[in-house]
Chain A
Amino acid sequence: MNTNYLPSDYLPIVVQLLAALGFIVGSMLVSHNIGPKRHSKKKDDPFECGIPTEGDARTPISVKYFLVAILFVLFDVEIIFLYPWAVNFLDWMKESREMAIAIFVEMILFMGLLLVGFYYIIRKGVLNWNQ
């Protein structure tokens, strides 16, 4: 396989890119310019299946959803650290016992901090949906 590409080898890609961009921009410009423009209250209304619109598209959602979502992501991401740790732990054990213990203590510390955070969340009442 040829691994030495010259900048000129990328020319077709550039041409493709330009053509794509040119088509999009060009067609938008053309349709915008030659199409008729008529404004009226009816015409400028958002239109959906012939039914009049009602309310706002962005309805407020309770902030609790966001909180739970963010907390989920937070803890989920931190749990991911456990996988590589767990997979490698046996190898560490074989290598040196002392090191393995140190690493184990570190993981306990990490989990401990997570638990402290979890306890904080519960005390704060974030997971309490009744309030």
Chain B
Amino acid sequence: MLSIISLSLFGILNLFLGFLKSRRVLLPATLLFIALAFAANLLDWNHQYVYFRDMLRTNNLFINFSSIILLTTFLTVAISRSFGTDEEHTHPAEYYAIMLFSVVGALMMVGFENLIMLFIGLEILSVSLYVLTGSDKRSLRSNEAALKYFLMGSFATGIFLFGIALVYGATGSFNLSAIGSYVSGGPTTGISPLLYVGLLFILAGMLFKVSAAPFHFWTPDVYDGAPTLFTAFMSTVVKTAGFAALYRLLTVSFTGVYGLWWQVLTGVTVLTLLVGNITAVYQSSVKRMLAYSSVSHAGYLLIAVAAKTPQSPSAILFYSLAYSIATITGFAVLILVAEQKPIEGRPDERYEAFNGLAKRNPLLAFSLAVSMVSLAGIPLTAGFWGKFFVFSTAVDRGMTNMGMVLVVAVLMSVVGVYYYFRVIIASYLKTGDSEPIGIRPLYRFILVLTTALTIGLGLFPDVVRQLF
């Protein structure tokens, strides 16, 4: 709770820091704010609190999820540099503030105890993201992406809200546990059909936010159009928060109708895995590939949600952590590589831009390779353990239920190897121009840190896993 309050205040503070003459203070200040919020967040460890008449609940799971969110935000902010091409028309203070506000939304989604709170959190997060998507004001692609995201997102929010209303109509409550006791206690008249429809609408809204197929069509365009920094932010923070919320909603409130949403979710999972992975193969831009790869990772995360075993939360946590770190690294390298040789004023995000990267900057190439290997799920990296835990939950749920999903997931992770390795092929096996790429110390530190984390989590997953 302290983290939410402090982040909101820090956001406002950030706005005013923008009036200072020097912009150089902004980045360290924002990093400091996030670190402070991270510390404040940890204060509640091993305590359970309920705030505002059952509106918000913080416990260790909340702290774990929000720590991951804050960590990824920290990493994203640390790799940020400039927004847009011309300095005059950019407003870094505002963008940092909006990022902090959106993290507030994400934290509310993680800790909600009431559907209203979930909705508010989701809206804070989404509205901030619409703005951030369009933050490259002079770029047509960015504008298009923002508008598209806004239109589609508000449509999804509408459906989501309608779902909440229907659930309220059926149960007479917005409270998670009250809905849960209605669903599992079974009212004498039987469960109202409104509840089923409402649940499906809520699911559709949430699945849209985490970009699961068939609600994923906005993802590639938006991720592609948004400035790469915010693409990294979107594809990590939103996903973590979205899955935390989805899991919490489904397990606390709707365990009683597991039979219903399980079927929906497995269908969506299979579709997401297929669409995400197969379309990613055909991309010629690394950024689009990463966008589709984020769709496919939503599929893997959905497996753990659909399995709904006691191990699911920790599997989701570990997977999100591994995925977020690797994705941030991938995007960080992409930002640097793409701006080396812009094509017609736009950063060059094609695979070819990575040619000969190993020669141009070995550190970039190595951390990129580690992150891709981790995303592909190869042992001794964090991504492998993420897949391992997720698959374990599915096997634990039972092969008769999850067998089909597992088979698809396995085949698709092989497909994943193909497109992730294309980047490695380009950077190590192809020859390109040999102009070295320079990086700032902070950037270098972040890359070393994420790479070390990815390998460290791959070697000793139990260290982090004990916490979950």
Tell me, yes or no, whether A and B come into direct contact in the complex with CB atoms closer than 8 A.
Answer: yes
Which 3 pairs show the lowest CB-CB distances between chains A and B? A120-B15, A123-B19, A116-B12
Of all chain B residues, which has the CB nearest A116? B12
Contacts of B15 in A (CB 8 A): 120
Contacts of B51 in A (CB 8 A): none
- The number of chain B residues touching the other chain, given as a range, is under 10
Contacts of A120 in B (CB 8 A): 15-16
Contacts of A113 in B (CB 8 A): 12
Contacts of A123 in B (CB 8 A): 16, 19
Contact with A along B379-400 (1 / 0, CB 8 A): 0000000000000000000000
Interface residues of A in 100-131 (CB under 8 A from B): 113, 116, 120, 123
A123 to B91, CA, bound (A): 14
Task: Give A114 Cβ to nearest chain B Cβ, in Å.
Answer: 12
Of all chain A residues, which has the CB nearest B13? A116
Task: Give B409 Cβ to nearest chain A Cβ, in Å.
Answer: 44
Interface residues of B in 1-35 (CB under 8 A from A): 12, 15-16, 19
Of all chain A residues, which has the CB nearest B12? A116
Task: Give A126 Cβ to nearest chain B Cβ, in Å.
Answer: 12
A6 to B126, CA, bound (A): 41
Task: Give B430 Cβ to nearest chain A Cβ, in Å.
Answer: 47
Task: Give A105 Cβ to nearest chain B Cβ, in Å.
Answer: 15
Interface residues of B in 258-285 (CB under 8 A from A): none
Task: Give B114 Cβ to nearest chain A Cβ, in Å.
Answer: 19
Task: Give 6 pairs: A residue, B residue, CB < 8 Å, sorted on A.
Answer: A113-B12, A116-B12, A120-B15, A120-B16, A123-B16, A123-B19
A120 to B12, CA, bound (A): 9
Of all chain A residues, which has the CB nearest B16? A120
Contacts of A116 in B (CB 8 A): 12
Task: Give A84 Cβ to nearest chain B Cβ, in Å.
Answer: 17
Of all chain A residues, which has the CB nearest B19? A123
Contacts of B12 in A (CB 8 A): 113, 116
Task: Give B11 Cβ to nearest chain A Cβ, in Å.
Answer: 11
A116 to B12, CA, bound (A): 8
Task: Give B115 Cβ to nearest chain A Cβ, in Å.
Answer: 21
Task: Give B438 Cβ to nearest chain A Cβ, in Å.
Answer: 35
Task: Give B405 Cβ to nearest chain A Cβ, in Å.
Answer: 39
Task: Give A93 Cβ to nearest chain B Cβ, in Å.
Answer: 21
Of all chain B residues, which has the CB nearest A113? B12
A116 to B15, CA, bound (A): 10
Task: Give B150 Cβ to nearest chain A Cβ, in Å.
Answer: 15
A113 to B19, CA, bound (A): 18
A85 to B15, CA, bound (A): 29
Interface residues of B in 357-389 (CB under 8 A from A): none
A120 to B19, CA, bound (A): 9
A116 to B16, CA, bound (A): 10
Contacts of B19 in A (CB 8 A): 123
Task: Give A108 Cβ to nearest chain B Cβ, in Å.
Answer: 16
Task: Give B134 Cβ to nearest chain A Cβ, in Å.
Answer: 15
A116 to B19, CA, bound (A): 14
Task: Give B147 Cβ to nearest chain A Cβ, in Å.
Answer: 15
Task: Give B4 Cβ to nearest chain A Cβ, in Å.
Answer: 15
A113 to B15, CA, bound (A): 13
A123 to B20, CA, bound (A): 11
A68 to B75, CA, bound (A): 36
Interface residues of B in 74-104 (CB under 8 A from A): none
Of all chain B residues, which has the CB nearest A119? B16
